Every structure is written in C-alpha cells, then in structure tokens.
Amino acid sequence: MKLFKKMLYSAAVFGLVASADASAAGNKIVIDGSTTVGPIAKAFAAHFTKSTGVQVTVSESGSGNGAKSLINKSCDIADMSRPMKDNELEAAKSRGVNPVENVVALDGLAIIVHPSNRVNGLSKAQIRGIYMGRFTNWSQVGGPNAPIVIIQRESNSGTQDSFKELVMGKDNPISKRAETQASNGAIKTRVASTPNAVGFVGLGFIDNSVKALLVEGVEPDARTVKNGTYPLHRALFMYTNGQPAGVVKQFIDLPKSVEGKHMISEIGFVNYY
Amino acid sequence: MNGDSPATAGRSSAFIVSARKRKLQKITRMAGESTLFLIAAVVAIIVLFIFYFVARDAVPFFQIRGFSEFFTKTDWYPADDPPRFGALAIIYGSLMVTAGSALIAVPMGVSAAICLSDVIPFSVRQYVKPIIEMLAAIPSVAFGFFALVILAPLLQNFGGPILMWTWWLIASPFLLLAVIVVSELLSTSIQDDSRRRVVQRILVAVFGLLSLLFLFFVGKHLQEIQILTGTNALNVSIILSFMALPTIVSVSEDALQAVGRDLREGSYALGATRAETIVKIILPAASSGILAAVILGIMRSLGETMVVWMASGNSSHVPEPWYNYLESVRTLTATIAGDMGEADQVTGSARFHVLFAMGLLLLVISFISNFISERIVVRQRKVLSGQ
C-alpha cells in the first residue's frame, strides 16, 4: 500500500515534470498529501474533471509528504490534516514557495475499538494513559480483564500528529509497545479483527466493523464536531503556493458549493463553510 | 583441424585464415572480452557505489548523534522534540524475525532438498521442484496481504489450538524416533537375544508413555496461550520462512545433486544403508553448498521489507521475555520504508541520516555473513580434498 502510494507519488512527480507546460497552461492539477483528506480530494477531482475537463491527479502519501511536494513545487495543492510546521514554512520560504492555508472541512478524530468491547467511552486522560502505556488492561478503564493492544499511525501521518497534539501533549511519548499501521484504513482493519485493540481514525472511516467511543461523554459525529463539543476535532487543509488562482482556485472553492458540501458530508467529514 | 594436410586443403579452406582475417578475429575477440569485462566490472562497481552512497549519508548521523544512543537505547521517537534515535529494539526485531524464519525454513528446506534429491523418484522430482520454486515468484506484497488479512486473525482467534497442533505434528515423529533409538541403545549391552527383545519392548512402552504424556501436557499448555495480536514476530517468521524456502530448497538440492553418483554408489557398495549414505556421505560432501543455500535464504529474510512492514505490527520495543515471538516487533527494513516519507533534508537531518545508518547496518550485516559463508565454503573444500 505504502509502496503503491510512493509509486503514485513519483508518477505524479514525473507526470508534472513531463507536462510542466500543460500545468502552466492550467489544464491539469496535481494534488498530493494526507490520506485523510485524500477521499475528499478524489471525490472533488472526479466531479471537477467531469464538469470542467481539467485533469486532476490525486496521490495520498501523508501530510508530511504533501508539504514536501509543495515545497519542491511538484504539486499544485498539498492535502494536509494538520497545519504546516514552522520548519516546513521556513523550508518553503527558502525555496521561494509561499504556502497558503485553505480549510476544506472539519474532521473529528474517532477513538475506535472492536465492536465486542464493553467500553463505551473514555476521557482524554484515560486515552492518554492507554497510549502512554500506563493503562495496559481494559479493566483499568472499565472494560473486561484483557490486555490492551495499542495501534498508532506511522510518523509521517497528519492524523498521528493531530492525535499527539490533541490527546498526548508535548511531553508524553506514545508507548513503545504501540503497533504502527500505515493508513486510516489499515488501522480500521486491524481494530475490526483484533478484539483487544484500540486505534484512532478520521471520522469518515467509521463504519459497523468498529465501535467509536464517546470521548468525555460526547459522541463523535458531524454535529458535535461542528459545534466544537467533541474534544478531538481538527481542520483539514489544502495548501497552495500563493493565493489560489485559475482552475486551482475553482478547485479550492469547491467546499463552498452545494455539490462540494454534499460530497464532504457523503464521505463522512464535516462542512466548514 | 586438418588444415595442414595438403590433400584436404581445398575442402577445408574455411579453416585457413588469412593474416587480415586473423587480425580481425583478434580485434573482435578483444572487443568481446573487454565488453564482458566491462559488464562484470560495472556490477562490482555498482555494489561499491551503493556502499559509498549509503555510507556517505549514514556517517553524518553518527557525527551528529554518536554511536552509543543508536546501538544501546530502545527509545525510537524520531519525530518528537527532542528526537530520540535508540534503534536497539529495531535491530533486535530484525535479528529476531530472521532467526525465527531460519529456525523454520532451514530444517524444512534442507529436509525437502534431501527428499527431492535422494528419496523420491526422479519423475516425481521433475514436477515437485518447479512447484516449490514457484513460491519465489509470488510477490512479497501478496505474502504480506496474506499475513495481515488471513494469518493474523487466525493466530488471534485460534492461536492456542494452532500452536498445540503444530507442536504435536512436529514433535511426535521426532519423539517416536528418539524413543526407538534410546531403547535400542540402552538394550545393546544385553547378550541374550530373547531377553534383549523383551527389555527393548518394556523400554519402548515406558519411554513411549512418558513422551506421550510430555506431548500432551506441553500441547495442553500451548493450547491455553491467548495470542493478543496476530501481527507479531511469529506471523512474520512463518511468512518469511515461506519466502526463504524456495531459495534454500533449490540451492541445496543443486548442491546435493552435485555430489555425484560415484560417492553414492561407493557408499552403497560398502554396505551402507540409504540413511547412512545420506547422513554420513552426501550431507558432509554437500555441506558447503547447503551452507551457501542457508545463508542466501537468511539474507532473503533479513532484507525483506514489504511483509514485515505489513505484518510485524511495527512496535519498536524488545519483547518481554526476550524470546516472546507472540509480541509485535519492528525491523530495520520496515523502519526505513515507513519513515522515509517524512524524513528528508528539509525536516531535520538526523532523522534523514538515521535511516541511512540503518541501511548501512543491514549492508554490513549481509556483507559479514557473506564473507563468513565464503570462508566456510573455502575451508570445507580444503577439508574435503584432504588437505
């Protein structure tokens, strides 16, 4: 999967190099970045190509790679599930790139467990305790007597960064025993097949195969994310080099349109506009 | 051939080469030889270049962070602030799954090779060997998918029974063999034939019962094990052993075949049984080839990335206790594959260079084991040729 993404990514890079003129002429958009924003970008791309005839290439290589691509000018839009970091902004400036933040949608970070798990909700402190390795048994947080299997994302994931920022805080490293999976989908698959597992995914990835926990007693859904009562929420971004213009602006403005809003809520995310 | 004979000079004029043609031949020969030499040299140079470029990007890491943290600490937090680069657990994970896969693949592979070369008839072997070699043609991502989607849930849901049945299947033939051999050995000192047979039977009964109890209780104990996570070192070891098998089987079977008929027939002529011939003649004679096969297979396991990335769980800690194959581990190759995305020069250099340090470590390990196997092969050849 990872390799496939890398191949897509490099294909996108080569494609851009080969068709640099076409891109400048404005009939092609190259998008790279977060696997969380990916589904939105893909849905937009399909819609956009159908309505305007502009080719849109979407790669999902993680937020960090998206930022890298934008800095290296190998994509027009960088999907990111976290804001750009200071060192990325500095690197961009040194290469003459001016990243502009465009919010696409809002997302909640859902804490998911196996459907058979008795636990229905956790507090942020309990989640932090589990991921730090302080709680190692479900009975310590009101569940059955079974060891906890912690699952996290790899280090270039924006979801991982959001989780660290929203839940862990700066000085609390995630336990060394935590397993690592490469995508939201992989985490969902592992949790769905592992009775004692806990993981975190974007709101759009929840389905019947896993159970999303209440956090601080609040259910993760579109309403609670939009009104800010669900504690683990974040904004999803599409970064552009400079203020978007031309077809890129048309694309970036999709979330404000009726169809765009419909697509976003269809996929399971929350409208920002 | 007979160009010097005047009688046939007319017919074989093609073999009489004029000075011009001879020169042309010489030039083409030199051109051909130098082309081949160049190609061979390019291969060697590529290896050197890989070494050079990996080392060039690995050295800065050790300059920035020193050696001790990388090799002695188990805290792997490359993305934190401040980052920590303790790779001991990751190095251990690599060695652990490699050792695990070798433990499964080497006995299986060598036995299969012996079976192919000396036990089953040639007509059967012709069909079986290509099938085993086909394992090598399965892409590693397919193996990884199998490990993640099928083997991992299986291990989680039926781990105990699977372990128990595996134990019974593997241990019972060996214990049976051991019981027979031990009772035979213990009763050899008895002179009287009929008495010896009786003692032998009693011994077989006693040891047989004991080993049955042993089999049963260990199996019972294994059955009670609850495997917490299916993406663990055992899962990866099993899959890696499948991937190493074709190499080990194919190369060691070639080595066994290379021993030749003369040694085998000599051994049979001296009255040795097939078992004695295999164990005492063929295996020692082919041992250097088998060792090369084993090292090739182990290198395959050590270098494999996709399967371990998908199925090892990727948690960078040393299992407790250290031999616990039922816990998740993280390997060097999976770390390089997984962290490469984020880690470029833009976002922090130590983090970029540490991956090259891991690559260099892998290169050095395979270089050393290749070197050792080479030495053993050479020494073995000397011993066999009687020096």
Q: What is the pLDDT of residue B65?
A: 85
Contacts of B78 in chain A (CB under 8 A): 155
Residue A267: how many CB atoms within 10 A of its CB?
Answer: 17
Q: Are residues A254 and A152 in the same domain?
A: no
What pLDDT does B217 receive?
Answer: 92
Q: Considering only CA atoms, which of A29, A87, A37, A85 is closest in space to residue A62?
A: A37
Cβ contact A189–B81 (<8 Å) = no
Q: What is the pLDDT of residues B144-171, one digit of tens each?
A: 889 988 998 899 888 889 999 989 998 8
pLDDT band at B12 (very low <50, low <70, confident <90, very high): low
Closest chain B C-alpha to A273 CA, distance in angstroms: 31
Is the confidence at residue B193, as pLDDT, over 90?
no
Residue A269 has a pLDDT of 82
Enumerate domains of chain B plus CATH numbers.
65-386 (1.10.3720.10)
Residues of chain A with pLDDT under 70: 1-26
User: From the list A180, A189, A196, which residue is nearest B228 (CB)?
Assistant: A196
- Asked if residue A186 and residue A144 are part of one domain, the reply reads yes
- Write the pLDDT tens digit of every residue in B290-308: 988 899 899 989 999 989 9
- B312: nearest CA in chain A? A179
Cβ neighbours of B76 in A, within 8 Å: 176
Mutation pick from A5, A82, A117, A154 vs chain B, by most beta carbons of B within 10 Å, is: A154
Q: What is the pLDDT of residue B97?
A: 93
pLDDT band at B360 (very low <50, low <70, confident <90, very high): very high
pLDDT greater than 70 at residue B194: yes
pLDDT at residue A212, rounded to an integer: 92
Are the C-beta atoms of B104 and B238 separated by less than 8 Å? yes
**3-state SS, residue A232:** coil
CA distance B209 to B54: 58
Flag if B338 and A180 touch (Cβ within 8 Å).
yes
Share of chain B above pLDDT 90, in %: 32
Does residue A116 belong to any structural domain of this protein?
yes
Range of the domain at A54: 2-106+237-267
- Contact (Cβ atoms closer than 8 angstroms) between residue B370 and residue A186: no
Residue A239: strand pairing partners: A78, A101
Q: Pick the closest to residue A230 from A222, A218, A241, A212 (CA basis).
A: A218
Q: Cβ separation of B79 and A196 shorter than 8 Å?
A: no
Q: Name the 3-class secondary structure at A169.
A: coil
Cross-strand bridge partners of residue B337: none
* Residues of chain B contacting A170 with CB distance shorter than 8 Å: 81
A146 domain-assigned: yes
Are A207 and A242 found together in one domain? no
In a domain, A273, yes or no: no
Residues A129 and A192 in one domain: yes
The reply to whether A92 and A182 lie within a common domain is no
Task: Say what the pLDDT of residue A38 is.
Answer: 86
Domain count, chain A: 2
Quick check: B230 and A193 CB within 8 A? yes
Q: Are A187 and A220 part of one and the same domain?
A: yes
The pLDDT, as a whole number, for residue B348 is 53
Counted residue by residue, chain A has a size of 273
Q: What is the mean pLDDT of residues B26-39?
A: 94
pLDDT of residue A126: 93
Tell me the two tokens of residue B73. 């600490």
The reported pLDDT for the residue numbered B374 is 83
Q: Please write down the HEC assignment for all residues of chain B.
A: CCCCCHHHCCCCHHHCCCHHHHHHHHHHHHHHHHHHHHHHHHHHHHHHHHHHHHHHHHHHHHHHHCCHHHHHCCCEECCCCCCEECCHHHHHHHHHHHHHHHHHHHHHHHHHHHHHHHHCCHHHHHHHHHHHHHHHHCCHHHHHHHHHHHHHHHHHHHHHHHHHHHHHHHHHHHHHHHHHHHHHHHCCCCCCHHHHHHHHHHHHHHHHHHHHHHHHHHHHHHHCCCCCCCCCHHHHHHHHHHHHHHHHHHHHHHHHHHCCHHHHHHHHHCCCCHHHHHHHHHHHHHHHHHHHHHHHHHHHHHHCCHHHHHHCECCCCCCCCCCCCCCCECCHHHHHHHHCCCCCHHHCHHHHHHHHHHHHHHHHHHHHHHHHHHHHHHHHHHHHCCC
What pLDDT, on a 0 to 100 scale, did the predictor assign at position B266? 92
Q: Is residue A84 part of a domain?
A: yes
CA distance B313 to chain A (A): 5
The dihedral formed by the CA atoms of B377, B382, B385 and B387, expressed in degrees to the nearest 10: -170
Question: What pLDDT, on a 0 to 100 scale, did the predictor assign at position B9?
Answer: 47
Residues A221, A119 within the same domain: yes
In a domain, A272, yes or no: no
Q: What is the pLDDT of residues A56-77, one digit of tens each?
A: 888 887 888 888 889 888 888 9
CATH number for A143: 3.40.190.10
Q: How many CA atoms lie within 13 A of B131 on its CB side?
A: 7
Out of B92-106, B233-247, B340-354, pick the least confident: B340-354
**Confidence check on the interface: ipTM exceeds 0.90, yes or no:** no
Of the segments A8-12, A96-100, B35-39, B84-88, which one has the largest average pLDDT value? B35-39
Q: How far apart are CA B145 and CA B310, in angstroms?
A: 7
Average pLDDT of chain B to the nearest whole number:
86
Classify residue A232: in a domain, yes or no.
no
What pLDDT, on a 0 to 100 scale, did the predictor assign at position B66? 84
Q: Specify the pLDDT at position B240.
A: 94
pLDDT of residue B331: 92
| Chain A residues in contact with B141 (beta carbon < 8 A) | 3
Neighbours of B211 (CB within 10 A): 18
Q: What are the tens digits of pLDDT across the range B306-341?
A: 899 888 888 888 888 888 888 889 999 998 888 776
Residue A205: both structure tokens together: 């990835």
Q: Are residues A36 and A48 in the same domain?
A: yes
Q: Which of B157, B229, B324 to mutate to test the interface with A (most CBs of A within 10 A)?
A: B229
Name the region of A234 (left: φ>0; alpha: ψ -120 to 50; beta: rest). beta
- Judge if A72 and A116 occupy the same domain: no
Partners of B347 on chain A (C-beta within 8 Å) are 64, 68, 85, 87-88, 91
Query: Which chain A residues contact residue B229 at CB under 8 A?
Result: 149, 179, 194, 196-197
Contact B342 A155 (CB under 8 A): yes
Q: Search chain B and give the residue with CA nearest A137.
A: B228
Same domain, A119 and A216: yes
Question: B87 CA to chain A: closest CA distance, Å?
Answer: 12
